[in-house]
Amino acid sequence: MITHFQQIRQAALSFLGFITLIAAIISMFYTTASDALVSPHLGFGHWDSKIMDGLVKTVYANPSYMRENCQTPITPIVDPEYAEVTCLDIDHAGQCES
C-alpha cells in the first residue's frame, strides 16, 4: 500500500478491493498491538554495589588460562616453540560447528 499508493483508489472502488484494504489495515494494527502486548521487554532495575569474592576458574574466552591448563598430546617437550599456540588452535577447532 505504501509503494503502490496510486493503485489504492482503483482497488477501493470494488467491494472485494475495499474489504481487502480494510483487512490489510486491521492486520497492521493487530500485529503492532500484539507485539507490544505479548513480547517481553527487558527492564533494568537499580544498580547495586556488591563485593564479590571467591575462587573463580574459567576457560571460555580466557586464552591465558587455557594456555596454562591445556591438556593436549603436544607438550612443550615435543614442540617447545609452538606447543601453547597449537593447544589453543586444537581447542578452538574443536569448538566450531560446521
For residue 24, how far is the Cα from the chain centroid?
A: 31
The count of structural domains within the chain is 2
80 or 92: which carries more pLDDT confidence? 80
The answer as to whether 57 is a domain residue is no
> What does pLDDT average to over the chain?
77
DSSP line for 79-92: -TTTHHHHHHHHHH
CA distance 85 to 98: 22
pTM for the complete prediction? 0.33
The answer as to whether 84 is a domain residue is yes
The answer as to whether 53 is a domain residue is no
What's the length of the chain?
A: 98
Q: What is the mean pLDDT of residues 12-21?
A: 84
pLDDT exceeds cutoff 70 at 1: no
The answer as to whether 72 is a domain residue is yes
The answer as to whether 56 is a domain residue is no
* pLDDT at residue 41, as a whole number: 65
| Weakest-pLDDT range from 24-33, 51-60, 76-85 | 51-60
- Neighbour count for residue 91 (Cβ, 10 Å): 16
Range of the domain at 83: 63-95
